[in-house]
Every structure is written in C-alpha cells, then in structure tokens.
Amino acid sequence: MNFRQLTKLLNETNEKLFQSAVKAVNTSLTIRNWLFGYYIVEFQQNGDDRAEYGKRLLYNLSEEIKIKGLTTPELSRCRQFYQAYPEILGSVTQELGFLEDENVNLKILGLLTQESNKPEIRHYKKLISSISYTHLVELIKIQDSLKRKFYELLCIKQTLSVRELKRQISTLSYERFGFSADKNLSMTEICKKIEPRESTDLVKSHYFFEFLKINNPSLIEETELESSLINHLQEFIIELGNGFCFEGRQKRILIGDEYYFIDLVFYHRILKCHVLIELKTDRFRYEHTGQLKTYLNYYKHNISQENDNPPVGILLVTERNKALVEYAIADSDKEIFVSKYKLQLPNKKEIEDFIDNELSKSF
C-alpha cells in the first residue's frame, strides 16, 4: 500500500460509514413519524376519550409530549404521512392490532429488519433506505398516488437531493413524461438533466437535527461569512440597547406547508413591535424585499398581539465591502409612526459602518 492508496482508503471508509450513519438516523426518524401518524389516526377513530379532544387533539398532544420539533403542524404532517402511505405496514399492523401489545413498536421494527416475502414490507424498506424523511414530506403533498410513485422511482433511481426533487416536481417532469410517446427516451432525458447529489445533502434537514436534539439545524447550510455576520450583528444590536429584546436566530416559521427561516428576530419594548432582520451576502435584488415583506405579513397576522404595532423589517444587503441598508416598514402610510420608528431603531449609519467593518475582516 502506498500513500495515495492509504488516503483513498480513508476517504472511502469515511464516506461509507457516513452514509450508513445517516441512513440509520433517517430510517428511525421515518418509522417514528409513520408510527406517530398511525397511532393518531387510530386514536381519532377508536380512542376511548377521543370526543373529549376533537379538533384540539394535535395541539394538546404537542403541549403534553414536548418532543423537540413535534409542534402541532409537525404532528399533522405525521398523520398526513401515514394517510398517504397506509399500505406501508398495513398487513403488519392488522396482525398486531392497535396498542393491544405494549411491545407493538418493537415487533414492527423487528419485522422491518427481517427479510420478508410481503411486497409492501420490501417496498417500504427500499423506500426508507433510499430517501430521507424530508423527501417524503415533499412526496406526501402529491395527491395522485401514481404521480407520487413516479417521483419515488426517480428518487430511488437517481438519488435526488430534496432540492432536485422539488425542481423535478415544479418543472412537471411527471406530466412531460406522461405526454411523451417514447417513455424510455423521456426517462433517459429527465435523468440526464438531474444534478448530482453531494453526500452532505443527506443531512441538510431540520428533521434530522431536531430528532437528534441538535440546536440551530438550519445553520448547517449557512456560509461561513453569513454565519459570522449574523453572530456579530446579533451582539451589535443587543449592545445598542434602545429597547431591543432578542427573541431568536434562524427563527423557523411555517407558511402553508413550507418552512422558512428568519435570520434574527427581536421584540422592541418601546415601539411594541417585532423587528425582523434579514442578511444577504450579495447585492440587493427585488425578491429580497418580497421575502422580507412576506415574513412581516406573517408576523402581523399570526404572531403580533392586539396591542402590538406592525412589525418592522430590516434588510441588510452586502456587495463586496459596500453595505446597502434598506428599511421595509409595514405601515409606511402612518407618517407619525414612521418617524417614531426612525427615532427608536438603530441609526442607519451605525449599521452601515458595522457591516463595512465586518466585511473588511472577511476579505
């Protein structure tokens, strides 16, 4: 063995075991969430005291179990996962019955780790060993079971990243495939255009990190520059005082069935409003404003209390060593309130100087 062979062996070993570790975590997460969905549906249909909880069941569950990441929407997603794939373990659960045996979980997990002649179990094992739960979250949004199966096949054959799966769905690959006369040629053409997936794509999921009780899951995808700037900006804003109360970094919000992350969220005790800060490490683009205004409208309708003033957005856009600071104020028609904002918010020049100084350290 020479040095080149040694380095190759180490890299290959690391990659193989990394993949195995990720698959093991993902398999456990996927099974857990399917079982949660199964138990919830069974309780809603057969639970002794189901009438007592009604529509508040998922909310009460999330408050009672306090499992990291399993909010009311996430429990609803678990239920949707089971309802989209009831056949996954249908025959197994029928044989075992609903919670008749306290070891039902262990029995199901045991059956899944054994070789089985049952097609549904073989299919399930193949599915969860090939794609992540994050992929399944995208797949369960598809109502048409045949269409969903097409994208399952594409995920398994081409090891799609979640981003690539979303792109395939949004560009109507299934519909284009259906209209083509030569299905083999069409599939070949689709596969040719699929971007290769990096192994690290497997762990870019907030589900994995919350399942493992790791904080700030989204930071795995942040660039070093963005992370550094946000770190220092958070400290800078807090040091300014002026009534800023820090609420969260990479604050996760659910809009429809998609998650978004707000870089920094403060509550201003003097202005009585939330202050949302978004940092972009490139030049200003119109979609940046649209994104921030979407977050502002979300906070206005879902988070703000009756006696709160409209939330304020601060968009920080950088281009090389130059900083452009734009304030997107929700109720800009209220001139007195705008003036009040200007008096209490950080001085624009101070923020510009801070960004320029931080950027100068990075180049």
Q: What DSSP assignment string belongs to 108-133?
A: HHHHHTS--S-HHHHHHHHHHHHS-H
Residues 40 and 144 in one domain: no
Q: How many residues are recorded in the chain?
A: 363
User: Are 211 and 228 in the same domain?
Assistant: no
Do 105 and 80 share a structural domain?
A: yes
pLDDT tens for residues 188-204?
888 888 876 666 666 66
What pLDDT was estimated at residue 150?
Answer: 92
Listed residues 96, 130, 164: the one ending a domain: 130
Say how many domains are in the chain.
3
Q: Please tell me the least confidently modeled range out of 2-6, 296-300, 305-309, 331-335.
A: 331-335
Rounded to 10°, the helix 3-46/119-130 angle is 130
Structure-block tokens of residue 206: 């907030």
* Chain centre to alpha carbon of residue 83: 21
Pair (81, 135) in one structural domain:
no
| Residue 256 and residue 158 share a domain | no
Range of the domain at 53: 1-130
Considering 99, 130, 161, which residue would you say is the last residue of a domain? 130
Q: What is the pTM of this model?
A: 0.60
Residue 29 CB-density burial (10 A; 0-12 exposed, 13-18 middle, 19+ buried): buried
Whole-angstrom distance, CA of residue 9 vs CA of residue 231: 38
Residue by residue, DSSP assigns 258-280 as EEEEEEEEEEETTTTEEEEEEEE
* Other CB atoms within 10 A of residue 115 CB: 7
Same domain, 123 and 136: no
| CA atoms of 309 and 339, how far apart (whole Å) | 14
Q: Calculate Rg over the CA atoms of the chain.
A: 25
Q: Given the DSSP bridges, would you call strands 273-280 and 312-319 parallel, antiparallel or unpaired?
A: parallel
Q: Are residues 268 and 348 in the same domain?
A: yes
Residues 353, 308, single domain; the answer is yes
> What pLDDT was estimated at residue 221?
46
Helix (H) / strand (E) element for 40: namely helix 3-46
The pLDDT value given to residue 295: 93
Q: Which region, left, alpha or beta, applies to residue 60 given φ > 0 means left and ψ of -120 to 50 means alpha?
A: alpha
Question: pLDDT tens digits, residue range 182-192?
Answer: 888 888 888 88
In a shared domain, residues 48 and 155: no
Provide the pLDDT confidence category of residue 332 given band limits of 50, 70 and 90: low
78/109 same-domain check: yes
Last-in-domain residue among 88, 113, 130: 130
Distance between CA atoms of 267 and 245, rounded to whole angstroms? 5
Q: Are residues 163 and 232 in the same domain?
A: no
Band of residue 219 on the pLDDT scale cut at 50, 70, 90: very low
What CATH number does residue 266 fall under? Answer: 3.40.1350.10
269 and 230 in a single domain? The answer is: yes
Q: Given this model, what pLDDT does residue 223 score?
A: 52
For residue 14, the surrounding DSSP H or E stretch is helix 3-46
Count CA atoms within 13 Å of residue 326 on its CB side: 18
Contacts with 230 (C-beta within 8 Å, 6 or more apart), sequence order:
222, 249, 263, 264, 279
Instruction: Give per-residue pLDDT as tens, 23-55.
Output: 788 888 888 898 899 889 988 888 888 777 788
Which helix (H) or strand (E) is 162 found in, with range? Answer: helix 162-170
Residues 152, 180, 148: CA angle, nearest 5 degrees: 20
Question: Is-contact 298 255, C-beta < 8 A?
Answer: yes
Residue 244: the pLDDT is: 86
